[in-house]
């Protein structure tokens, strides 16, 4: 089922806010480059599924654990920037899209080699 226009708008606002907060307050030299790739909202707008990608030598479990510890601060920042009836709870996950893309590219190049 497709997300409603309101879900997409709220998700986009949260993505922008979290992206700025990650760059300004959380990201440091040991965490590498962290980006928010997308935010999907539940139908009732009470839960935000935040998908992240990281570049560099980063312990991904430690990154997710660190963000889980800072959920309160992140939720407070979102609540002060967006006026919603409910402040959404945040669920962080790693976005696997880049890994899937590189795997598909590798498989396609192998197929092309075997065709020649």
5-115 to CATH, choices 3.30.1130.10, 2.60.40.420, 3.30.300.20, 3.40.50.620: 3.30.300.20
What pLDDT, on a 0 to 100 scale, did the predictor assign at position 41?
Answer: 94
What pLDDT is recorded for position 29? 61
Q: Are 51 and 39 in contact (CB under 8 A)?
A: yes
Give residue 30's pLDDT: 63
Tokens in use for 87? 């402040």
pTM: 0.79
> Is residue 15 over pLDDT 90?
yes
pLDDT reading at 2 higher than 80: no
Answer yes or no: is pLDDT of 13 > 90: yes
In degrees, rounded to 5, the angle at the alpha carbon of residue 25 between the alpha carbons of residues 86 and 38 is: 55
Percent of the chain's residues with pLDDT above 90: 48
Mean pLDDT of 72-99: 89
């Amino acid at each position: 089922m497709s997300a409603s226009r309101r879900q997409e708008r709220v998700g986009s606002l949260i993505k922008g806010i979290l992206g700025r907060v990650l760059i300004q307050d959380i990201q440091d030299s040991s965490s590498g480059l962290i980006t928010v790739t997308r935010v999907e909202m539940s139908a009732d707008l009470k839960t935000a599924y935040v998908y992240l990608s990281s570049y560099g030598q980063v312990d991904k479990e430690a990154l997710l654990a660190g963000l889980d510890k800072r959920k309160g601060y992140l939720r407070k920042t979102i609540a002060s920037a967006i006026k919603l009836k409910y402040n959404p709870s945040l669920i962080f996950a790693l976005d696997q899209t880049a890994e899937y893309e590189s795997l598909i590219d590798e498989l396609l190049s192998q197929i092309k080699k075997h065709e020649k």
